Every structure is written in structure tokens, then in C-alpha cells.
Amino acid sequence: MMNTLKNLLSSHVLFRRVVIILINVLMGWFDYLTGYEFAFSIFYLVPIAIAAWFDNFKVTSLAIFMASIIWLCIYMTSGHYYSNPYVVYWNIGVRIIFFYIVAYLLYKIRAAMNELTLMAMKDSLTALNNTRAFNLAYQEIQKNNLKKQQQIAISIIDLDGFKAVNDTLGHSKGDEVLIRFAELLKNAVQNSACVARIGGDEFAIILENIDFISAEEFEKKLRIKFLESGLNDEFGIDYSMGMSIFNELPESVDKATHCADKLMYQSKLRGKSRTIIQSY
């Protein structure tokens, strides 16, 4: 139930903003019913917190403004008056500052959590997706493809000659090779669902809505970009790739990658620097 509500608030803008308005009005109604003797300000934080966590600064400011106006209207109709007429303005000012402080703290917490999530999903060296992100992307694509019924390709790429670069030129040059190859992959497969580094010199790609002919065209394009990159001339490396095309993705990501991995190793056995594509 809570997960469903969280998903609705995060993904449906209209629903989220209607909820913010309704909760603000509801809190105001309860505040009015309970009378001025009961402090109710903290409950106005509910719609403000929703706005701060799921929406932008403008919407949060509007939620704060709405809560403040509702409180002021309730005060004006309560029949309660302070000894000094300026007290009401002080009180509403303090409430607005309090609301903004809470909203700001929620913004900072959300930003920190998003940054940590991003760090947990990215390979620190190449900035590609890591294995965890690849697995999550696969699960999402597998679920969505039950409706779309598209062909999906899983590719595993392994660099040929990378160990020699590390051994003879050092790890800094090896890192340079990985970074440049990762950038090459990102540029070559801009429309792919996911590009990831899943091991030392091993990479994985998910390509959506692709048939055998399209897979061959992609492989040729990638080979051309690789030759143009100069990695082979500078470091003597190449790559072997296995690509499995599925009409229906296996439920297990391990099974899907195993098929592509097996094809990749077959390409190495046949002389490396080549690609084997197979439909399943």
C-alpha cells in the first residue's frame, strides 16, 4: 500500500499536486474544528513535506503559502485576538520560516540520497552503469517487454589484449583504455536501454527492439567506431563480442548474460576480435 502511494506521488504530477492541495485543505478544516487553543501547525508539514520530497521548489513554496493563508484565515474567523495586532504577523512569519527550514532540510536529504543512489549504480572508473544497475535495468525491461513483445539483444564484450596493456604499460594506461572504450560504447549505443561495465575489462549492453539484421548493422557500426578511436593502433587491443537476441527474455538475467557470454567465448576461440550473433 505504501509503495503504491509512493509510486503514485513520484510518477503522477497531477495526482501529487491534487493530494498536496487536498491535505492542506483537510489540515485547515481540522485546525478550524479544534479551535485556536490547540496548536496544529506541525500537521501542515504533511503536504509541504510531500511537495519538498517529490516536487520542485516552486510547488513547495506554493504549498507553504497555501498553508500560511489557510492558517491566517482560520485565525481571522476564530474570534481570538492578541493584545498586540502585530503578533499575528509575527506568528505567521515564524511559521513560514519554520516551514521553509523543514522543506530545505528535506531537499538536502533527498539530494544526498539521490547522489548515493547514483554512486551505487555507477562504475567509479568509467561512469557507466555497474552490474547492479544492469540487473535492475534488465528486470525492468523484462517486465515491460511482456506487453511490448519486442526482440531484445543482450551483448557481452571482452577486451582482447587488455592484460598485456596492464602488464607492460601499467594500470594507469589500462584505466585510460577502459575509460576511452566506455566512452566509445556510450557514443555508439546512445539509444540502448543500458550500457554497463560488469567486470575488469568486460562490458554488457541491452538493445531494445532489434532483429538479426539490425544487430549486424550495429556490430559493423561499433567496429568502425572502434577502429576510428585509435585504441587498436595505440595499445594493440581489440574486442570480442557475443550477442544473444531474444524473442522473449529469460526471467533470470544470469541466464540471458550466460547465453551472450558463451557466444563471446566462442568468438575468442575462433581467433578473437570478432562477434557472434545468435537468435533464441
d(C-alpha 35, C-alpha 78), whole Å: 7
- In angstroms, the Cα distances linking 96 to 17, 72, 236 are 20, 12, 64
Distances in Å between the Cα of 160 and the Cα atoms of 136, 171, 177, 232, 266 are 28, 16, 12, 10, 13
Closest by CA position to 154, among listed 101, 100, 68, 218: 218
Work out the percent of the chain whose per-residue pLDDT is above 70.
98
Q: Which amino acid is residue 98, in one-letter code?
A: F
Binned at pLDDT 50, 70 and 90, residue 147 comes out as low
The more confidently predicted of residues 146 and 161 is 161
* Whether residue 107 sits in one domain with residue 137: no
Kindly tell me the number of DSSP H helices and DSSP E strands found in the chain.
11, 5
φ/ψ of 157, rounded to 5, equals -120, 135
Same domain, 244 and 143: yes
Mean pLDDT of the chain: 88
Same domain? For 137 and 114 the reply is: no
Q: What is the mean pLDDT of residues 40-62?
A: 91
Q: Are residues 61 and 105 in the same domain?
A: yes
Instruction: Classify residue 82: in a domain, yes or no.
Output: yes
**Same structural domain, 39 and 69:** yes
Residue 146 pLDDT:
66
Query: Do 16 and 151 fall into the same domain?
Result: no
The pLDDT of 161-181, averaged and rounded, is: 91
pLDDT single digits (tens) 131-143: 999 999 998 888 8
Q: Where does the pLDDT of residue 82 fall: very low under 50, low under 70, confident under 90, or very high at 90 and above?
A: confident
pLDDT beyond 80 at 81 = no
Under 8 Å CB-to-CB from 250, ≥6 apart: which residues? 256, 259
How far apart are the C-alpha atoms of 141 and 127, rounded to whole Å?
21
| Last residue within a domain, chosen from 121, 153, 178 | 121
Q: Is residue 218 part of a domain?
A: yes
| 116 and 164, same domain (yes or no) | no
Quickly state the pLDDT bin for 58 (edges 50, 70, 90): very high
The answer to whether position 230 is within a domain reads yes
* 9 in a structural domain: yes
Establish if 126 belongs to a structural domain.
no
- Model pLDDT for residues 188-202, shown as the tens digit of each residue: 887 667 899 998 899
Report the CATH number that the domain containing residue 196 is assigned in CATH: 3.30.70.270
Task: Tell me whether residue 206 is in a domain.
Answer: yes
pLDDT of residue 140: 87
Residues 137 and 70 in one domain: no
Residues 189 and 260 occupy one common structural domain? yes
The answer to the question of residue 152 being in a domain is: yes
Q: What is the pLDDT of residues 247-262, one digit of tens each?
A: 888 888 999 999 999 9
Q: Which of 96-110, 139-153, 191-205 has the lowest mean pLDDT?
A: 139-153
- Which of 65, 96, 121 is a domain's end point? 121
Is the pLDDT assigned to residue 77 strictly greater than 90?
A: no
pLDDT, tens digit, 9 for 90 and up, residues 11-49: 788 999 999 999 999 998 988 888 777 777 888 999 999
22 and 96 assigned to the same domain: yes
Q: Is 234 exposed, middle or buried (0-12, 13-18, 19+ CB in 10 A)?
A: middle
Question: What is the structure's pLDDT at 191?
Answer: 67
Q: When comparing pLDDT for 67 and 147, which is higher? A: 67
Give a three-class secondary structure readout of 153-177: EEEEEEEECHHHHHHHHCHHHHHHH
For residue 28, tell me if it sits in a domain: yes
Question: Residue 1: is its pLDDT beyond 70?
Answer: no
Residue 215: give the domain boundaries. Answer: 131-279
Tell whether 81 and 135 lie within a shared domain. no
pTM of structure: 0.70
pLDDT of the residue at 209: 87
pLDDT the model gives residue 39: 76
Domain end among 95, 121, 147: 121
Count of the separate structural domains present in the chain: 2
The answer on 274 and 146 residing in a single domain is yes
